[in-house]
Amino acid sequence: MWGRSHAERVKSQNGITTLLTTQTETISLLDLAWVRSQFPALSQTVNGQPAVFLDGPGGTQVPQRVIDAISRYLRHDNANSGGAYPTSRNTDAMIAAARAAMADFLGCDADEIVFGPNMTTLTYAMSRSIGRELKAGDEIVLTHLDHDANVSPWRALEERGVTVRMADIHEEDCTLNLHDLSHKITNRTKLVAVGYASNAVGTINDVHTIVQLAHESGALAYIDAVHYAPHGPIDVRALDCDFLVCSTYKFFGPHMGVLYGKREHLQRLHPYKIRANTNAIPNRWEWGTLNHECIAGIAACVDYLADLGRHVNPSVSPRRAAVLAAYAAIRRHEHELMTSLIRGLLQIPGLKLYGIQDPSRFDQRCPTVAVRINGFTPLQLATRLGERGIFTWDGNYYALNLTERLDVEKDGGFLRIGLAHYNTGEEVERLLCALKQIVGA
């Protein structure tokens, strides 16, 4: 990621602002006015003040086109799938289109995309199926940095005699201890489950290396990309992971989960399923009637990201390339906001920030920041910010292994400030001023 010293802003003929870097690469800047105009919820007010949504890690806002796609489906095509009449055929076509959109988003084929209610449910289902092949003495490696949805479904296999080993963290910057992780992976390891990024402290893990380590020992690699997905591009083929899960409500879509599975695994493993359901992939992994209206919203949310990419860089056209262009601009914008946020937070007396603080390492973290402030519980801080129209979160956000490991669980966890690409520098300033006011700085 390029700092300002390396770059200069220029306006091109089409009015799109770009950064010319000292390298040959150019990165288009986000057109924040355009971005914000897409999200109707951002114009809400609280007690006469514009609402500031810093709660993205819990779920992001959605663009108008997602809302429209959901209601359009319910108005025009609402039907069960597989019927011999127009609305049902339209439903089947819509689901196929949404699979193709998610395949472009993740860089795979459409038949490797499984829809489900959320990441947790999909992971429980997959852990049960993988667990059918495991026996006593087999091992699974998990991490202290992960959300419990990538821990408990695997721990459930302990009842089959499987041993779970937890990889530790470096406490000082809340990064994964890769040395420890690599020692915990042995020839008994059958699966390594790890998050792409921490939903609590923002650390981005070196998942590429972790997948390689897993594969060297013949283990499967299961990646929880729920927190990473709104902040960076995902390429499951380049990662070579066996499974990757994400939740569309964290990246500007509806409340749904999506699982990518390598075709060979989706074909070979045995899902728990009813007889009437097909044996063809990916549908054999989807039970009962899906949430069709939300699936319509998923296609719209990927198309929003693609249009954002085309907006910042009109030279890209295919959907996958456009999504990648969007993420280049998103990362750059979030990097700038994160730098001001962390710099400002560190000036607040009594504040402790958990996670990477060194700006030269900010490409190893998401703009999700966990803090505690002496004399205040995270709940008190979140409540007072909420009264001022600033939405943050408090507690453990289910990253229970981490709050226990850092010994903050008993004291209310952290205050989490989560930036998304639709946030502004003014909003960061408002948060910093409000926090200073609350703590009397």
Q: For residue 332, which phi and psi values (nearest 5 degrees)?
A: -65, -45
Q: Does 144 bind ligand PLP (CB under 6 A)?
A: no
- We find the least distance from the C-beta atom of residue 258 to ligand PLP, in angstroms, to be 9
Contact window for ligand PLP (CB under 6 A) among 64-72, 179-187, 221-229, 304-312: 221-229
Q: Does 55 bind ligand PLP (CB under 6 A)?
A: no
Residues 9/19, Cβ–Cβ less than 8 Å: yes
Q: Does 65 bind ligand PLP (CB under 6 A)?
A: no
Q: Of these, 195, 261, 378, 395, which contacts ligand PLP (CB under 6 A)?
A: 195
Q: Does 199 bind ligand PLP (CB under 6 A)?
A: yes
Give the 3-state DSSP-derived string for the chain, with helices as H, strands as E and coil as C: CCCHHHEEEEECCCCCEEEEECCCCEEECCCHHHHHHCCHHHHCEECCEECEECEHHHCCCCCHHHHHHHHHHHHHCCCCCCCCCHHHHHHHHHHHHHHHHHHHHHCCCHHHEEEECCHHHHHHHHHHHHHCCCCCCCEEEEECCCCHHHCHHHHHHHHHCCEEEEECEECCCCEECHHHHHHHCCCCEEEEEEECECCCCCEECCHHHHHHHHHHCCCEEEEECCCCCCCCCCCHHHHCCCEEEEEHHHCCCCCCEEEEECHHHHHHCCCCCCCCCCCCCCHHHCCCCCCHHHHHHHHHHHHHHHHHHHHHCCCCCCHHHHHHHHHHHHHHHHHHHHHHHHHHHCCCCCEEEECCCCHHHHHHECCEEEEEECCCCHHHHHHHHHHCCEECEEECCCCHHHHHHCCCHHHCEEEEEECCCCCCHHHHHHHHHHHHHHHCC
Contact window for ligand PLP (CB under 6 A) among 142-150, 166-174, 213-221, 261-269: 142-150
* Residue closer to ligand PLP (CB basis): 149 or 281: 149
- We find the least distance from the C-beta atom of residue 119 to ligand PLP, in angstroms, to be 4
- We find the least distance from the C-beta atom of residue 353 to ligand PLP, in angstroms, to be 19
Contact window for ligand PLP (CB under 6 A) among 126-134, 222-230, 285-293, 324-332: 222-230
* Residue closer to ligand PLP (CB basis): 247 or 401: 247
- We find the least distance from the C-beta atom of residue 149 to ligand PLP, in angstroms, to be 4
- We find the least distance from the C-beta atom of residue 246 to ligand PLP, in angstroms, to be 8
Q: Does 353 bind ligand PLP (CB under 6 A)?
A: no
Q: Does 120 bind ligand PLP (CB under 6 A)?
A: yes
Contact window for ligand PLP (CB under 6 A) among 10-18, 72-80, 114-122, 323-331: 114-122
Q: Does 313 bind ligand PLP (CB under 6 A)?
A: no
* Residue closer to ligand PLP (CB basis): 139 or 224: 224
Please report, as residue ranges, which positions from 239 to 278 form the binding site for ligand PLP (by CB under 6 A).
247, 257
Q: Does 224 bind ligand PLP (CB under 6 A)?
A: yes
- We find the least distance from the C-beta atom of residue 111 to ligand PLP, in angstroms, to be 22
Rounded to whole angstroms, the Cα distance separating 313 from 27 reads: 9
- We find the least distance from the C-beta atom of residue 327 to ligand PLP, in angstroms, to be 18
Q: Does 119 bind ligand PLP (CB under 6 A)?
A: yes
Contact window for ligand PLP (CB under 6 A) among 46-54, 116-124, 231-239, 282-290: 116-124
Binding residues for ligand PLP (CB under 6 A): 118-120, 147, 149-150, 195, 199, 224, 226-227, 247, 257
